[in-house]
Structure 1
Amino acid sequence: MNSIFLLIAGLGFMALGFFIYSKFIAEKVFKFSEDFKTPAHEFNDGIDYVPSNKYVLWGHHFTSVAGAAPIIGPAIAVIWGWVPAFIWVVFGTIFMAGVHDMSAIWASVRNRGQSMGFIVGKVIGGRARALLMVVIFLLLLMVNTAFGTVIARMMVNTPSSVLPVWGALVVAFIIGQAIYRFKLSLPIVSIVGVIALYALIWAGPQVPLALPTEMMGMSSTGWWILILFAYAAIASLLPVWMLLQPRDYINGLQLFIGLGILYVSIMLFAPDVVAPAFNENMPNGTPPIMPLLFVTIACGAISGFHGLVSSGTTSKQINNEKDIRFVGYFGAMGEGMLSLGAIIAATAGFATLADWEAVYTAFGKGSIGAFINGGGEIINQGVGISKEISVTMLTVMAALFAGTTMDTGVRLQRYIVQEFGEIYNLPALKNGTVATLSAVGICIGLVFGTGGDDGAGGLTIWPLFGTTNQLMAGLTLLIVSVMLLRKGIKSWYTLLPMAFLLAMTVMALLIQLQSFYAKEQWLLLVLDIIILIASILVSFECVSVLRKEWPSKEKEAVK
C-alpha cells in the first residue's frame, strides 16, 4: 500500500465531513444564531472573556486540544495494523470529534461560558456535578503532569529544540501586542510571526541549548519540569490575549505548515507503508484491539479533554455563535489530520518491515519517536530538508503542541479549583493566584512525590488517561443530549457516539482493573475504581433525566 492513497483518502473524507456533515449539524441540530449574545460579550473582562477573531480562536482551540496525544496514540495503535487506526481516526473525527467539540462549546456558550462540571450541576443535579468534577480534575492532573514530563525530556534529548520552543513565547507575546494593542493587520502579523518561528527552528541546531546534567542535586529533567510549571502558572494568570491565545494561534499556523511539509513530502517521496494492514505477528503482551484501540487513540478521533477546553477557554472567547462550527469542528479536524500524518509517519517512515518490527517490539514502544524519526526520514527524502532539521522541526511541533495544551490545562485546572471554591463557599480558592498555586503544587507533588527527579512520577497515572479521557467525552455528549432533548431537538447525533464510547471505555477500564491488580499497581487500581464508579453514577443520573424528558419532549416535537 502506498502512503499517498492513505493521505488522499483520509483528507478527502474529512473534507466531506466538514463541508457536509458539520454544516448539517450546525444548522439542523444546534441551530447556531448570530443574534445570540455570547459570554465573551456579556462578561468581557479582558482577561478570560474576550471576543476573538474566529481564525485566531481556531488556532487556540486546535493547538490546545492537540497536544502530543494525537501523535502518541496513533503511533502506538498501529501495532495492531494501520487499517484499524486509519478507520478510527478518519471516521471518528468526522462523526464524533467534530460534533463533540461543537456541542461542548455550544453547551458552554448557552450557559454563561461555564465548564462542563458546572453545567452538569444545572442540567442534571448537584450529585452528578460533584462526581464529574472529580473525574475532570484527575483528567487535567494526568495531562499536565505527563505533558510537563514529555516536554522536559524532549528538551533534554533534543537540545536543538530548546531555542525554538522558548523563542516562540517571545514571538507570541509580540503578536498579542500587535493584534490587540496596536490593531495591526492580522495577515501581515501572521506572516511575520510564522517566518520568525521557522527562523528559530533553523537556528535551533546551530545554537543547541542544554542545562547541566546535574545542578544543585537535581537532574536537568527535573529543572526543566520546574521551569515549565513556573511558566505555566504565570501564563495561566495573564489575560488570554497577551500570551495564551496569540501563542496558540501562531503555533497553529506554524504547525499546520509543518504538517503541510510532511504531506507534500509524502506526495513527492511516495513511501510504501511497510507495516501490516492487520498485524498477525504482535509481540507478547499486546492487549486486545477491542476495546483498547478506542482508548489508545483518543485525541485524533475523539477526546474528552476537548470538552474541557471547549467549555473552559474557547467558549469564553466566541465572538459570534456561528463561529462555533469553524472553531470547534475544524479544530477537531485539524487534530485528526495530525493523527493521520502520525499514522503514515509511523508506518511508512521505515525502509522495511523488519525495521518497523525492530521498533515495535512491545506495546507502547513506537510512540512519539516513531513519528519524529519516521516523519524526519520522509521529509528528508521528499523535499530534501536535512534529517537533523527535519527531526528538529517535528520535535518542536510535538513540544509546541504539548506546551500549548499544558498552558491551557493549567488554566483549566485553575478554573476547576475556583469553581470548587464557589460550590463549597471557600473564599481562598476563589482567588486566582491561590487556585493556580494549588493546581500547580498538586502537579509538582505528583511528579516528584511518586518518582525521582527524572520526571517518572509525571507519568505515574498516565496509563489511565485514555480511558478517563474517553469517559469524559461520552459524558459530555450525554449532558449535551439532555440539553438538546429539553429543547425538543432529537439527539441521536450525540447519543449514538456517546453510547459507543461509554461501552468501549467501561470495557477498557475493567480490563485495566485486572491488569493493575495483577501487576500490584495499587494507586492506579484505586484511581481506576474511583473513576469507574464516578462515571457510572453520573451516567445513571443522566439516563434518569433522559427517561423523564424523552416522552414529553417527543410529544412537544410532534405538536
Structure 2
Amino acid sequence: MLTFFAALILLVLGYVVYSKFVERVFVIDDNTTTPAYTKTDNFDFVPMSWWKGNLIQLLNIAGLGPIYGAVAGALYGPVAFVWIVIGCIFAGGVHDYFSGMLSLRHNGAQFPSIVGRYLGKHIKAFINVFSLILMILVAAAFTAGPAQLIAQITPLSFTVALLIIFGYFVLATVLPINQIIGRIYPLLGAILLFMAVAIAVALLFSDKQIPNLTFENLHPADLPVWPLLMVTISCGAISGFHCTQSPIVACTMKKESDGRKIFYGAMVIEGVIALIWAAAGMAFFNGTVGLGEALAAGGPSGVVNEISTSLLGTFGGILAILGVIILPITTGDTALRSSRMILSEIITKVYRIDTKVKVLFVTLLVSVPALYLATIDYTFLWRYVGWTNQVVASVMLWTGTVYLLKHHKFHWICGVPAIFMTGVVCTYIFYAPEGLNLPYSVSNGIGFCLTAIVVLWYVSQIIKYRKLKLEESEAKVA
C-alpha cells in the first residue's frame, strides 16, 4: 500500500517539478501565434481551450491502453509501479511534450514530417510507412475487441458490429474536429478518469492488500522484466502511438504555455490510471499467480469486468462495458484521423486534389486495411502493436534530442530516455516470439551492441553541434 501511495505522489511531483524544467529547456513564447489561428480552417485547425485539449489528448492516447497494458504488466509484480513512474516522468511525458510542441512550432506538422526535418529524409520515409502501419494496427485491434463484446451482449453479429464501428470511424475522420471529437471526447475522457478513481477508492476501502515494492520478478511464467515489461506497459509509461496523436491537438492550441498542461499533463494522468489498474490487478486476485489464472480464463476484458463489478457492483459493470466498448473505439478513430492527416501531407506534395475529395480518398485508403485486419485474431494484432509502438517512441525521442542539439539546449532530457528505449526495442525484437525468438542472452548481446552503435552516433552528433556552436561564437566575435 505504501508503495502505491508513494508512486502516486511521485507522479504528481513529476508534473509539478519536472514538466516545468522540460518547459524551460524547450523555451515557450506565448507571443507566437499558433497554427490554430494562422491556419484556421474549421476542420483540423480550430482553436480550443487547454482543458478541452487535455481531455481530448487523454482519450486519444489512452483508451484501454493504460488499463489492459497495466493489468498485463502487473503480472511482474510491484516492479511495474517503478516502470510506470520512471517511464511516465522521464520518458513518456518528455516524449509527448516534444511531439506536440514540435508540431506546434512547425505549423501543425505531422510526426513523419518532424522526423524528416531533424533525422533526415531516409528516416522520414521509413517512419511514414512504420507509423501508418502502427495506426492501422491500433485501429484494427481497438475495433475487434469492442465488436466481439457487442456481439455477445446484443443481437448484432460481429460483422454488423464491426461495420457500425467503422461507419463511425469514417464520420469522425472526415468531419471537422470540433463536431464530434471536440464535443464528446472531453466527456468520455472524464469518464475514463472517473472510472479509474472509483476503482482506486473502492480498492482502498476493500480488504484487498496492494503489495509493497519488491524488485523480485513475480511473473508466473518467469518471463524476464527486461525488456518485456517496457513493451507490455507502454500506455501509462511511454508509447510511440502518442506522438502520432499529439499533432491533432497541437493544431487546436491557443498558446504555447498550454502545451505543458495538455501533453505532459495528459501523460501523467494516464500514468495515474495505469498505476491504479496495475495495483487493482495485483491486489484483487491476491497476487500475480491469481491474476495470471484470471487473464488466462477471461483475458484483459474479463479481468477488468470482474474487478469493476466486484468492487463497484452494477455501476461498475456499466463502467466496464463503457470502457471496453467506447474507449478503444475513441482511440481507433483518432488513429485513422492522424493517418489521414499524414497521408494528406504526402499527397498534397505530389498531387493537387480538392480538399473534400482528398479527405474521402485518404480515409478509404487507411480504413479498408484496418477493417480487414479487425477480422483476424485480436491477440495476434496486439503482439505486433507492442513493438512497433516502442520503435516509433524511440524515433520520436531521438528527434527531440537532435532538435535540442541543433538549438544548443540541454539535450540529455531526450537523449537519455532515447538510449534506454533503443535498448528496449533492439533487445525485444530479437527475443520476442513475434520477432526473431532468439535465446535471451543472445538477444541481450545483440541489443547491447546495436544500442552502443546508436550511442556512438549520438556522441558524433554532440561533437558536431558543439563545433557548430563554437564556429557561430567565433563568427560573432569576428
Relative to the length of structure 2, the TM-score reads 0.88
Matched, 1:486 2:413: no
The counterpart of 2:53, out of the listed 50, 57, 65, is 57
Taking a change above 3 Å as real, the CA distance of residues 314 and 514 of structure 1, as seen in their structure-2 partners, is closer
Alpha-carbon displacement from aligned partner over 1:295-353 (angstroms, at most 9, x marks no partner):
11111101111111112x01101111000000011100111111011112211123677
Does the 8 Å contact 1:128/1:538 carry over to 2? no
Cα distance in 1 for residues equivalent to 2:388 and 2:453 = 14
The answer for unaligned runs of 5 or more in structure 1 is: 160-209, 213-219, 380-385, 519-534
Deviation (angstroms), 1:246: 1.9
Q: Does 1:438 align with 2:371?
A: no
User: Residues 51-90 of structure 1: matches in 2 within 5 Å?
Assistant: 51-81=47-77, 83-90=78-85
The structure 2 residue matched to 1:295, chosen from 228, 231, 236, is 231
2:284 corresponding residue in structure 1: 349
1:272 alignment partner, SS class: coil
1:335, 1:422 → 2: CA distance? 34
CA drift at 1:480:
1.4
5 Å-filtered alignment, 1:141-180, equals: 141-157=136-152, 159=153
Matched, 1:269 2:202: no
* Distance of aligned partners of 1:507 and 1:517 in 2 relative to their CA distance in 1, 3 Å threshold: closer
Shift of 1:288: 2.1
Choose from 448, 468, 471 the match for 1:552.
468
In 2, are the aligned partners of 1:75 and 1:366 still within 8 Å (CA)? no
**Residue of 260, 275, 280 corresponding to 1:340:** 275
- What secondary structure is seen at the aligned counterpart in 2 of 1:317? coil
Q: Mapping of 1:534-553 within 5 angstroms?
A: 548-553=464-469
2:192 to 252, 255, 265: 255
Give the match for residue 23 of structure 2: 26
Q: Which residue of 2 aligns with 1:323?
A: 258
Which residue identity is paired with 1:98?
G
Contact 2:76 2:219 in 1 (8 A): yes
Residue pair 2:3, 2:212 contacting (<8 A) in 1 also: no
Q: Name the structure 1 match of 2:336.
A: 410
Counterparts in 2 of 1:546 and 1:125: CA distance versus 1, 3 Å: farther
Letter in 1 for 2:358: N
Partner of 1:462: 382
Q: Structure 2, unaligned stretches of length 5 or more?
A: 439-450
Counterpart code for 2:243:
G
Whether the aligned pair in 2 keeps the contact of 1:70 and 1:300 (CA below 8 Å) is yes
1:1-38, CA deviations, whole angstroms, 9 ceiling, x for partnerless residues? x4xx34422221111111111111112x1111111111
Name the CA shift for 1:539/1:129 in 2 (closer, same or farther; >3 Å): farther
Please give the per-residue CA displacement for 1:453-508, whole angstroms capped at 9, x wherever unaligned.
xxx2x554331211111111111111111112211212100110011001111110
Query: 3-state SS of the aligned residue for 1:269?
Result: coil
Q: Deviations over 1:212-265 (max 9, x none)?
A: 4xxxxxxx1222111111110111111111111222111112222222222221
Deviation at residue 420 of structure 1 after TM alignment: 2.9
Q: Distance in 2 between matches of 1:133 and 1:265?
A: 44
Q: Distance in 1 between matches of 2:188 and 2:148?
A: 20
For each residue in 1:170-190, what CA deviation from the matched residue of structure 2 results, as whole angstroms up to 9, or x when unmatched?
Answer: xxxxxxxxxxxxxxxxxxxxx
1:355 and 1:122, CA in 2 relative to 1: closer, same or farther beyond 3 A?
Answer: closer
In structure 2, distance between residues paired with 1:9 and 1:24:
21
Quote the offset at 1:515 in angstroms: 5.7
Equivalent position to 1:238, from 165, 170, 175: 175
The 2-side partners of 1:428 and 1:513 are apart by 45
Letter in 2 for 1:10: A
Q: 1:397 aligns with which of 323, 326, 336?
A: 323
1:494–1:282 Cα change, 3 Å: closer
1:372-383 alignment, distance < 5 Å: 372-379=305-312
Report if aligned partners of 2:200, 2:276 keep a CA contact under 8 Å in 1.
yes
Structure 2 partner of 1:473: 393
One-letter amino acid of the structure 2 residue matched with residue 233 of structure 1 = V
CA distance in 2, matches of 1:552, 1:350: 58
Using the alignment, how far apart are the partners of 1:485 and 1:68 within structure 2?
35
Tell me how far apart the structure 2 counterparts of residues 281 and 24 of structure 1 sit (CA, whole Å): 35
| 1:509-548 → structure 2 map (5 Å cutoff) | 509-512=429-432, 548=464
What does residue range 87-126 of structure 1 map to in structure 2 within 5 Å? 87-126=82-121
How many residues matched? 462
Two-structure CA RMSD over aligned residues (Å): 3.0
Distance change in 2, residues 1:274/1:109 (3 Å): closer
Amino acid at match of 1:66: A
1:310 alignment counterpart:
246
> Which SS does the other structure have where 2:48 is aligned?
coil
Q: For 1:539 and 1:427, how far apart are their aligned partners in 2?
A: 43
Shift of 1:378: 2.8
- State how far apart, in whole Å, the 1-side matches of 2:218 and 2:382 are: 27
| Aligned CA distance change for structure 1 residues 103 and 557 (closer, same or farther; 3 Å) | farther
TM-score computed with the length of structure 1 as normaliser: 0.76
- Distance change (3 Å), C-alpha of 1:336 and 1:247: same
Q: 1:79 deviation in Å?
A: 1.8
When structure 1 is superposed on structure 2, of 416-425 and 56-65 the one drifting more is 416-425
Deviation at 1:542, TM superposition (A): 8.2
Whole-Å Cα distance in 1 between the matches of residues 234 and 429 of structure 2?
Answer: 14
> Shift of the alpha carbon at 1:281?
6.7
**Kept after mapping to 2: 8 A contact 1:47/1:241:** yes
Distance, in Å, in 1 between the alignment partners of 2:464 and 2:401 is 13
Deviation at 1:540, TM superposition (A): 9.9
